[in-house]
Amino acid sequence: MVQQFTPLDASFSALSDATRRGVLEQLGRSDASITELADRFHMTLTGMKKHVGVLERAGFVITQKVGRVRTCRLGLRRLEEEAAWIESYRQVWAARFEALDAVVEQLKREEEDR
């Protein structure tokens, strides 16, 4: 079976890693080179380049090479689609918990009536 990845898949995949979330947090404070990020996260340049690549493909990071330095900054991608997806499931679960609460309350009333 062929799997097709959507932007939502790329987003959640990129955000699933603690290092990548940390990189986004760091870039939220200021732009940084891949070397600076690698030093901050105590990893190799190759490892950090892979993390930055995942973030770049998801649209969260933009890199620009000036001379020998590749600088990273936050991309233009926002999380509206992801937030909407999460909200739709939050509503489903809220409705299910409300229904469960109603059942529990009904069982309590029946127990008290006995």
pLDDT of residue 97: 95
Note whether residue 1 is domain-resident: no
- Domain total of the chain: 2
Residues 84, 57 share a domain: no
Residues 55, 25 share a domain: yes
Instruction: Tell me how crowded residue 108 is: count the other CB atoms within 10 A of its CB.
Output: 10
Note whether residue 42 is domain-resident: yes
**Residue 84, domain extent:** 78-114
Residues 99, 63 share a domain: no
pLDDT of residue 81: 87
**Can you give the CATH number for the domain in which 69 is found?**
1.10.10.10
Residues 31, 59 share a domain: yes
Distance CA 93, CA 62 (A): 36
Residues 12, 44 share a domain: yes
Q: Between the CA of residue 58 and those of 13, 20, 78, 89, what are the distances in Å?
A: 9, 11, 10, 22
Helix ranges restricted to H, 1-114: 7-15, 18-29, 34-40, 45-57, 80-113
Convert the pLDDT of each residue in 6-60 to its tens digit: 888 889 999 999 999 999 999 999 999 999 999 999 999 999 999 999 999 999 9
Would the pTM of this model clear 0.85, i.e. be above it?
no
